[in-house]
Amino acid sequence: MTEFEPERKEVSISEFFDKNKQMLGFDSPQKSLFMTVKEAVDNSLDACADNGILPEITVRIEELGKEKFRIEIIDNGPGIKRTEVENSFGKMLYGSRFFQERQSRGQQGLGISAAILYAQKTTGIPTEIVTKVEKEMTAFHFVLEIDIRKNSPHTISVTPEIWDVKSGTRIVISLKGKYVSGKQSVEEYIRETAIANPHSTFHLILPDKAIDILRSISEPPPVPIAVKPHPHGVELGELISIFKDNERETIEGVLEDKFSRVTKQVAKTIVEKSKLNGKKINKLSRDDFEELMKTIKETEFMEPKKDCLSPIGSEGLFKSAINSFREYHPAYFSQPVIKGPFVFSGHPFLVEAIAIYGGDLPKEDPIKILRFANRVPLLYQSGSCAITRAISSLTWNQYGFSQPVKDQIPVGPLIVAVHLASTKVPFTSEAKEAIATVPEIMDALDIMLKGVARQIKTMRKKEAHKGQVEEKFALIELILPQIAQKSGKILKLEPPDITPIISKVMGVVAFREINGELFAENYTEKTHSFKVVLKGEERFTESVKNLKPFQKVKLNFSKEIISSTEIYVDLPEPILLGAYSLPKVFSDE
């Protein structure tokens, strides 16, 4: 038993932090400021998500002095019960989510405590938290610090405070930091967060600007469902902890109750196979657990339940892409592509993406990749991330993008936003900056990206077609009239009437008004039957049957009707040019 002790013991928090500064993302003033905002915002969004609240979050950054900043984050989340504030904010590794599998942003409850500790170490200013739950009449204002020797949170003061909201939390942290704009900045982080959370509204008050990003959908995503861990998804430490938390049960009982997809029968078989029949949990040695683990790994289970994932979804991705990238006037937004759920190591996951193409996006630069894991943007370590790798490994040439170096990011006016949702995102490190290249995830990304790239290819073809159409119009509206004018001028004759040529070039039926009467002339190579509709205050229709090539027919509308209406023609083919309105020439409507 004693041999498990180090696993459970909480190391000195200060020592832990110092050792793991880099891993936790607090290795430079710039990144520390960024991480603090990120941890607080992620917490706020998670709290809202768990309670079905549409988040509205304010981030305010003020410069206090050289490399000294005051960061304030206000949310409309559920608030934190008075009794839990200390633990929520002050204690490392505290979190109610342990041994529950569900899609969430923070996975270990480590981040915000690290930020508070960092702030305290660099400025000596304690953190302030104001929080109100719906049930309470008032909010409570905590001044909190972390007792480094005792390794526990310490409340300096608590005072009730009037805060006229239903519920919410406000946290103020003063730290040593560096404010930047541009790449890997707070602004970029919030902008991208808004993309992955289209139901959220953000107010940013930064030292150099203020930005409001309003939500683009007004339904909160469904509350993520917590599921018991799948036996293939737990590691030895977790396995031991789960059993130690349920020492009074039988081994079979714990297997059946605390894990998903384990039936009574299977639980029994596992125990027998591991030769642990009748053993009490508190008598289990480390070797016993290892044996149990081995059996579990060898046993086949049904795949984990997959309905616990919450994708951003088609509508969300589409609307947030429009909301965020409108300023580039893109030529297209792809349809979002969602693949999954699939499973890796007992954890369900899905991937989804949207692409934004053209407009003012730079043509000569590498494409822009936006990476998200469980609705959190990933801004660092792009190169080692599964998403970047999957994009680079696609052969982009076949989709019409140049890829100067094989297996590198292609070049072109394109943004690809990719989201991975999972009950457990396999990050490459504790800083949660890059997704590991797990084979199942790579495969899913590959299929999905191909789906997106194909769409872009198709859209580019259409763009080329649009170019052709525009060229035809230049031809008939500008060039041919000028040829007519010029040839007439040289020969000192009236310029020829080019309407028939226009029709020929366009491949359509022309409608001409001659002395107030309307004629239809077929300059195509086929015979056509169609309906002519004149729309004004009223509608007037006339059918034309079998109008042969080069045939001209007078329509029987009165001059009054013709002059007071617009013409629409129902012509099944040939339709080269859709809904363009041309004087006297119509193809289809």
**CA 522/CA 509 separation, integer angstroms:** 5
Pairing between strand 368-373 and 414-422? parallel
**CA 419/CA 371 separation, integer angstroms:** 6
Residue 434 DSSP one-character state = S
Residues belonging to the chain: 589
Contact partners, residue 94, CB within 8 Å, separation at least 6: 87, 88, 109, 113
Q: Give least dist CB 500 to another protein, A.
A: 3
Q: Give least dist CB 71 to another protein, A.
A: 57
Given a contact cutoff of 8 angstroms between Cβ atoms, the answer to whether 261 and 302 are in contact is yes
Between 203 and 472, CB nearer to another protein: 472
Between 220 and 500, CB nearer to another protein: 500
Q: Which residue from 452, 380, 432 is spatially nearest to 104, judged by alpha carbons?
A: 432
Given a contact cutoff of 8 angstroms between Cβ atoms, the answer to whether 446 and 391 are in contact is no
Q: Give least dist CB 557 to another protein, A.
A: 25
Q: Give least dist CB 460 to another protein, A.
A: 20
- Please give the structure tokens belonging to residue 385: 């991330």
Q: Give least dist CB 505 to another protein, A.
A: 5
Q: Give least dist CB 542 to another protein, A.
A: 25
Contact partners, residue 247, CB within 8 Å, separation at least 6: 281, 282
Between 502 and 544, CB nearer to another protein: 502
Per DSSP, helices labelled H in 83-147 are: 85-90, 111-123
Q: How far is CA 390 from CA 317, 401, 466, in A?
A: 20, 16, 32
Given a contact cutoff of 8 angstroms between Cβ atoms, the answer to whether 365 and 328 are in contact is no
Between 179 and 523, CB nearer to another protein: 523
Between 54 and 498, CB nearer to another protein: 498
Q: Give least dist CB 522 to another protein, A.
A: 12
Between 141 and 504, CB nearer to another protein: 504
Between 338 and 509, CB nearer to another protein: 509
Q: Give least dist CB 470 to another protein, A.
A: 9
What is the contact surface with another protein in residues (CB under 8 A)? 471-472, 474-475, 478-480, 482-484, 486-491, 493, 496-498, 500-501, 504-505, 523
Contact partners, residue 101, CB within 8 Å, separation at least 6: 226, 227, 228, 229, 230, 233, 260, 304, 308, 347, 423, 424
Between 365 and 477, CB nearer to another protein: 477
Between 135 and 492, CB nearer to another protein: 492
On the question of a cis peptide bond just before residue 341, with omega within 30 degrees of 0, the verdict is: yes
Between 486 and 559, CB nearer to another protein: 486
Q: Give least dist CB 513 to another protein, A.
A: 18
DSSP 475-525: IIIIIHHHHHHHHHHHHTSPPPP-HHHHHHHHTSEEEEEETTEEEEEE-SS
Contacts within 8 Å (CB) and 24+ apart, 362-366:
362/413, 363/411, 363/412, 363/413, 364/411, 365/411, 366/408, 366/409, 366/410, 366/411
Contact partners, residue 483, CB within 8 Å, separation at least 6: none
Q: Give least dist CB 471 to another protein, A.
A: 4
Given a contact cutoff of 8 angstroms between Cβ atoms, the answer to whether 144 and 129 are in contact is yes
Q: Give least dist CB 489 to another protein, A.
A: 7
Between 158 and 475, CB nearer to another protein: 475
